[in-house]
Amino acid sequence: MRHGHCCLGCRLVQPPTRDCVECGAGMVAPMAGLRELMSYPDMKLGGERDMWMITALLAGGSIVIPFLMPVSLVTLGAAGVQAVRRRRVRAEQPIAAIVERRPQPAPAASVAIGPAHPLHAPVRRPWDGGTSVAAELGVRWVGGLFLRASAVAPFVVAAPGGDVVVTGVIRLAPPLVKYRVLGTPEVTGAEPRLAALGVPASWRLGGVLHVEDVAVGQVVRVTGVIADEPVAARAGYRDGGVPRVMRGTPAVPVVLEPAPPPETP
């Protein structure tokens, strides 16, 4: 699976596509092309914009007032030098974090808890080649989320009320990471797992690399809307294969999280 693209909205690293496979936003592009946008979350580029505007006004006025031409040439040169300096500074700036919001299920969503097993086969993690039911790699820090990548295959939860097939858009809930690092950490795109996703080696991310992995048979908690749908993989002799299905969409994803261990009396 070839990655190297990233969604500017939710920071999901993914293969080339027009719309994000999870949030549905049409802001997916090669990571190299998003470098500057991911370094300026506030998009305040007013200084450079104003310098080019002044140059344009002077150049336009010099047509009517010839003696402004030398001034406009000097201003144009200053704007060019300023632009080169800004590009150099931006190339050295770390990627900025965005505020990570927990995906919200539908108001009528149900909760199913039980061991998870792949519907067909485990999914392969693109950053290390291993397999599991679901996994997410993310770079996070106190300020928010820098990058993430996920790998989820349709799976079955053996819930007490009956099996539930989970498919569609599935989002892992943001982990509760306890940061015990003094000072601001940093991970670069040269880290082998990030490099395997196509992250440029020059990128600097001021966060901690965290991996959430759901193994086969692990007890999970899924939240979403349950409906009866035909599933070919569940069909058999004299059975139409219409189990309970929890199907997520970009607008309303299924929220997946490892179930907390039972409390001991």
| 154 and 128 within one domain | yes
| 174 and 82 within one domain | no
- Asked if residue 77 is part of any domain, the answer here is yes
pLDDT score at 238: 47
244 touches 122 (CB < 8 A):
no
10 touches 23 (CB < 8 A):
yes
Other CB atoms within 10 A of residue 205 CB: 24
* Beta-strand pair 254-258/170-172: parallel
Question: For residue 87, what are the domain limits?
Answer: 46-92
User: Closest Cα to residue 102, out of 173, 15, 203?
Assistant: 173
Six token digits for residue 41: 């979350």
Most confident of 66-70, 102-106, 143-147, 220-224: 220-224
- For residue 37, pLDDT over 90 is answered with no
| 184 and 156 within one domain | yes
d(CA 222, CA 136): 16
pLDDT score at 235: 65
141 DSSP β-pair partners: 144
Among 47-61, 204-218, 223-237, where is mean pLDDT lowest? 47-61
Among 69-78, 112-121, 165-174, where is mean pLDDT lowest? 69-78
- For residue 220, pLDDT over 50 is answered with yes
- For residue 146, pLDDT over 60 is answered with yes
pLDDT score at 47: 46
71 touches 190 (CB < 8 A):
no
More confident residue, 219 or 39: 219
Half-sphere exposure at residue 221, Cβ-oriented, CA atoms within 13 angstroms: 10
pLDDT score at 236: 55
Average pLDDT value for residue range 3-21 = 90
d(CA 148, CA 111): 25
Average pLDDT value for residue range 247-253 = 91
Q: How many helical (H) and strand (E) elements, i.e. helices and strands, does the chain have?
A: 3, 18
- For residue 259, pLDDT over 70 is answered with yes
Chain centroid offset of residue 105 CA: 18
Strands ordered across the beta sheet of 5-7: 13-14, 5-7, 28-30
- For residue 217, pLDDT over 70 is answered with yes
| 53 and 164 within one domain | no
**Mean pLDDT over the full length of the chain:** 79
- Asked if residue 19 is part of any domain, the answer here is no
| 143 and 193 within one domain | yes
pLDDT score at 190: 93
Residue 179 pLDDT grade (very low, low, confident, very high; cuts 50, 70, 90):
low
Tell me if residue 245 falls in helix, strand or coil. Answer: strand
- Asked if residue 98 is part of any domain, the answer here is no
Average pLDDT value for residue range 135-145 = 90
Tens of pLDDT, residue by residue over 86-121, are: 555 444 567 888 988 888 888 889 999 999 999 989
| 234 and 199 within one domain | yes
155 touches 118 (CB < 8 A):
yes
- For residue 208, pLDDT over 80 is answered with yes
User: Closest Cα to residue 10, out of 36, 33, 38?
Assistant: 38
d(CA 214, CA 126): 15
| 186 and 142 within one domain | yes
d(CA 209, CA 187): 7
| 246 and 216 within one domain | yes
| 115 and 75 within one domain | no
151 touches 124 (CB < 8 A):
yes
pLDDT score at 49: 47
| 206 and 80 within one domain | no
